[in-house]
Structure 1
Amino acid sequence: MALTDTALRKLKNSETGQKADEGGLFLDVMPGGAKVWRMRYRLAGKQEKITLGDYPTYSLAEARSWRDDCKALVGRGLSPMCLKRGDPIPDDAQPATKELAHLFIREWCLKAREKVKAKEEARKAGDTVEAFGAVWYAEVVEPANTNPRNIKRVLEKDVYPAIGAKQLAEVTVTDILAITDKVKARGADQMALQTRNVLKRFFAYAIARQKTQFNPAAAIEGRFIAQARSRDVALTPDEIGKLLRAIYQSSMKRAHKLALHLLILCMVRKSELIEAKWSELDLENGEWAIPGERMKKDKPHLVPLSRQAVAMFEELKGLASGSEWVFPSRWDLDQPIAKSTLNVAVRALAVEVRDFVIHDFRRTASTHLHEAGFNSDWIEKALAHEAKGIRGIYNRAQYLDQRRDMLQWWADFVDSQIEEGRKVVIGRFGKAFLAA
């Protein structure tokens, strides 16, 4: 029974074997799923077999046209198989036969090679790191990650410029190390480790899709790139400015921008800020009294507020929609924002700053205050670190006045890092504290 286009379209890879058409033409469905047009014919009492190419590169109509040309050659005593192989046309062949043979070679043998070459070039183009990266990102990264932008930034910033044009199978361990070394040279050891981890998952998927057989990123142990250890980042003044400008230029909610700025200024922990209630704040006197049950050491903590911080809290009051929480959830005003909200906001930032986490804000403040010569006891109290021994016993005054002056200096210092022409619109609080 002759093949049809409909039957060919519905043909499954699992239906292996030969699917006969007419006149010796058949489609050979290989175990790996490839579908190849072939033809059997007899010449001088011997059976021969010739291959055209795969389906659907060659349609059913093209395969039948090729079959008819093969049969015409056989009828004149010429072997299509020998012509395809490159054997010379017999000298004693009739002129019409020679013309038919040349036409067959030109139309089917030479063009077939061109098709194979074009197909291979197209396959190679799809097997470059950048081309396959687009497939991996769309099929795996976006559906499975809550914040896929981080992975996209790794690919576009560090991977594609280095190896984007390379074939997947040609990427070496040396290529991966060159990428991670370049990231480490920026002072971002942990980002280098993250980049290696992204590439490890990327090549694992490429292997699963049979695009390559080797995972060069997996061949590098993470400990040879960076140690997955506790954070020790303190942002430089320049990085503080870059970070805050990126925060205020981003599309995140205004309340979240102010929250991140307050975390830098007030030196409190993230949970202490996002779970703050308006009842704890005395904006008239510039003080924030955090109850002991919300503190790590179960002891109440009094935070003297800078003029900038007071202005930010005043703005947040208008954004809170009457909620008792300073940072109410958008879904439920009776609950504060989720603990992960600010982390997600930070990870989404497009900023040229070393890999950091929110907790680094406290270390950053401590580092710069110590460098500026402020008393360690004041700094430790601002961080709610309880001093032990005699220093702790005689620390009853809590250095409130000293801490107020220190945190005002710190707020001014931080603000001066954004000052680069005041190109960043940071909002009403800027005018409020400048007028104070």
Structure 2
Amino acid sequence: MALTDAKLRSLKPTDKLFQVSDGGGLFVEVMPGGAMPWRLRYRLYGKQEKVTLGDYPAYSLADARHWREDCGALVGRGVSPMALKRGDAIPDDVAVAVKERAQKFIDDWCMHVRKKIEAKEAEARAASTVKAFAERWFSEVAGPSNSNPRNIRRILDKDVIPGMGEKQVADVTADDVLAITDKIKARGADQMALATRNVLKRLFAYAIARGLTKFNPAAAVEAKYIATAKSREVALSSDEVGRLLRSIYQSSMKRANKLALHLLILCMVRKSELIEARWDEVDFDEAVWSIPGERMKKDRAHIVPLSRQALAMFDELKGLSSGSEFIFPSRNTLKKPIAHSTLNVAVRTLELDVRDFVLHDFRRTASTLLHEAGFNSDWIEKCLAHETKGIRGVYNRAEYIGHRREMLQWWADFVDAQIEEGRKVIIGRFGKAYRAA
């Protein structure tokens, strides 16, 4: 059995000399004093000879094997390695052959070393591309430190890696960052462009800490040149409303949550007013939802005229609520409504290509688009349950019911049109049974 370095290291001297073979005539002798010389047996002209190289580990196993090959070449030419070691003259042709073999060994070794260096350099270059480092940053930093890393993952996969993934981290410039953010802004997603710049800023800060670059190209691009962060002042465009609702209905979230998000847009109520709603507040015959004052922000009762679509959604939710008094009962108990974070979490799971928003922005979105459509501001403010000061505030509220019902029906039809614009999306039969009403 051939020797190994581990086996050589484990050999211990005994009272008597013993030998351990590596094959091909090569063996190591273990002397009682601990020396371990390499020796080689070979036959030349019918006689057996033995020659010594030197002690292990001064001569490694690899050295001994190369020596065995060289001795074999000499024996093949009829030259005795033992005689050469004694200093006998070497025939000219043998000397040339030995020199050529030595040169070939040197050349092969240099090529081996050069290939290893090139492989390490290629490995280092591959590890320092934006794509490779982004994966490292996400797994080591962004993923573990964020409660919702899905948005960061989406930014990396959708824009950063396709846009600059093959570039070396140290070669990325501010122009490269702007090229990506400009492309995102061209989609009408200014806030997403700003979020992407912020993700890149954090990624390159980590790259600096890891010694891959000395420059943060994203930090060199001021946020104000991309977009102004307006976390509480977002009004989605009509196109964004359509894209949002298509994403909601194409997602795997619970049906009741899909309907809840749709109703938030159609009814213009606050999230807490919707998720805490009870069935005794909904009058299907009159098509109104009466929210008691104790559940309203201003402690004043609020009436929501229901569009055909909204009424059909409540009708479907009746079958999904499992007999609970709450329209949106908790998954754990029918005696409580869903948690306040449920709809927020549901939205965060979506793959969205719209601006960053919060659910409260649905109210602002409806108000903005209704104002743009020319509807009376008083009707809109009443739908939002905003308090109106002065004479207008004491005007007979009942007079707005009819106007608000017409406006909210127009709004529900308008939202439907945004969802259905050139796409086939299964959202349900909202309003089909109530079209003639």
The amino acid that maps onto 1:166 is K
C-alpha deviation, 1:409, in angstroms: 1.4
Q: 1:170 corresponds to which letter in structure 2? A: D
Change in CA separation of 1:435 and 1:69 when aligned onto 2, cut-off 3 Å: farther
2:265 maps to 1:270 = no
Q: Which amino acid aligns with 1:237?
A: S
Percent identical pairs in the alignment equals 67
In structure 2, give the amino acid aligned to 1:412: D
Contact 1:265-1:410 at 8 Å conserved across structures: yes
Q: CA deviation at 1:67?
A: 8.0
- 2:33 is aligned to none
Does 1:110 pair with 2:128? no
Partner Cα separation in structure 1 for residue 212 and residue 125 of structure 2: 10
What is aligned with 1:415?
A: 416
Residue 225 of structure 1 is matched in structure 2 by 226
Give the match's secondary structure for 2:252: coil
What per-residue deviation string (whole Å, max 9, x for no partner) do you get for residues 28-67 of structure 1?
xxxxxxxxxxxxxxxxxxxxxxxxxxxxxxxx9xx85268
Bigger CA radius of gyration: 2
The 1:322/1:70 distance shift into structure 2, 3 A limit, reads farther
Relative to 1, partners in 2 of residues 1:367 and 1:66: Cα closer, same or farther, differing over 3 Å? farther
| Mapped contact 1:381–1:398 kept (Cα < 8 A) | no
Q: Is 2:175 the partner of 1:174?
A: yes
Write the distance in 2 (CA, Å) between the matches of 1:144 and 1:132: 17
Partner of 2:301: 300
Does the CA contact (< 8 Å) of 1:268 and 1:383 recur in 2?
A: yes
Partners of 2:310 and 2:431 within 8 A in 1: no
Q: CA deviation at 1:307?
A: 1.3
2:290 partner SS = strand
1:195 is matched by which residue type in structure 2? T
Please give the residue correspondences for 1:94-109 in structure 2 after superposition, counting only pairs within 5 Å.
Answer: 94-109=95-110
Residue range with higher mean Cα deviation, 97-106 or 369-378 = 97-106
Residue 65 of structure 1 is matched in structure 2 by 62
Q: Does residue 250 of structure 1 match 2:251?
A: yes
| Structure 2 partner of 1:152 | 153
Pair 430,301 (structure 1): closer, same or farther in 2 beyond 3 Å: closer
Matched with 1:16 is none
2:402 aligned residue: 401
- Matched-pair contact (CA < 8 Å) for 1:308–1:430: yes
CA distance in 2, matches of 1:393, 1:125: 71
What is the CA deviation profile of residues 309-368 of structure 1, one whole-angstrom value per residue up to 9, with x for unaligned ones?
A: 111011111111222221122123332222222222223322433333322221222222
Residue 234 of structure 1 and its aligned partner are, at CA, apart by 2.8
Look up the match of 1:41. Answer: none
Closer/same/farther in 2, CA of residues 71 and 229 from structure 1, 3 Å limit: farther
1:129-208 correspondence to structure 2 within 5 Å: 129-208=130-209
| Closer, same or farther: CA 398–106 of 1 in aligned 2, 3 Å | farther
- Contact between 1:327 and 1:336, CA under 8 Å: does it hold in 2? yes
How many angstroms does 1:381 deviate by?
0.4
Deviation at 1:230, TM superposition (A): 4.5
CA distance, structure 1, for counterparts of residue 67 and residue 345 of structure 2: 66
Worse-matched range after superposition: 348-357 or 260-269: 348-357
Give distance in 2, aligned partners of 1:135 and 1:430.
50
- Range moving further from structure 2, 311-320 or 190-199: 190-199
Moved more, 225-234 or 399-408: 225-234
Deviation string 1:191-241 (CA, Å, 9 cap, x unpaired) is 222112211222233344444444332344434433333544333333322
Deviation, structure 1 residue 70: 9.3
Q: CA deviation at 1:280?
A: 1.9
> In 2 relative to 1, CA 398–341 (structure 1 residues): closer, same or farther, beyond 3 Å?
farther
Which residue number in structure 1 is paired with residue 346 of structure 2? 345
Equivalent residue number for residue 24 of structure 2 = none
CA pair 312-176 structure 1, distance change in 2 beyond 3 A: same
Question: Structure 2: any 5+ residue segments left out of the alignment?
Answer: 10-27, 29-56, 71-92
1:431 deviates by 3.3
Q: Which moved more, 1:245-254 or 1:357-366?
A: 357-366
Letter in 1 for 2:62: S
Summarize the Cα distance change of 1:335–1:143 in structure 2 as closer, same or farther, 3 Å threshold. Answer: farther
Query: What's 1:241 paired with?
Result: 242
Q: Contact between 1:234 and 1:363, CA under 8 Å: does it hold in 2? A: yes
Partner AA of 2:136 in structure 1? V
For 2:337 and 2:211, locate their aligned partners in 1 and report how far apart those are by CA, in whole Å: 47
Tell me, in whole angstroms, the C-alpha distance in 2 between the residues paired with 1:103 and 1:335: 83
Query: Cα–Cα, structure 1 residues 201 and 129, in superposed 2: closer, same or farther, change >3 Å?
Result: same
> Over residues 157-187 of structure 1, what are the superposed CA-to-partner deviations in whole Å (9 max), with x where a residue is unaligned?
2111221001112222332233223323333
Q: Residues of 1 paired with 2:121 and 2:127: CA distance?
A: 10
**One-letter amino acid of the counterpart of residue 283, structure 2:** D
Determine if contact 2:326/2:337 at 8 Å carries over to the other structure. Answer: yes
Give the conservation status (yes or no) of the 8 Å contact 1:147–1:344: no
Partner AA of 2:376 in structure 1: N
- Coordinate RMSD, CA, aligned: 3.1
TM-score (norm 2): 0.75
Query: What amino acid sits opposite 1:199 in the alignment?
Result: L
1:3-42 matches, within 5 Å, as 4=6
- CA, structure 1 residues 67+283, in 2 after alignment: closer, same or farther (shift >3 Å)? farther
Partner of 1:322: 323
The secondary structure found in structure 1 opposite 2:331 is: coil
Whether 2:311 is the aligned partner of 1:310: answer yes
> Partners in 1 of 2:359 and 2:242 — Cα distance?
15
| CA distance 1:179–1:70, change in 2 (3 Å) | farther
Q: TM-score, normalised by structure 1?
A: 0.75
Aligned with 2:430: secondary structure?
helix
Question: Hey, what's the Cα distance between the residues in 2 that align with 1:286 and 1:120?
Answer: 72
- Aligned to 1:399, the other structure's residue is in SS state helix
Separation in 1 of the partners of 2:233 and 2:257?
Answer: 24
Q: CA deviation at 1:156?
A: 1.8
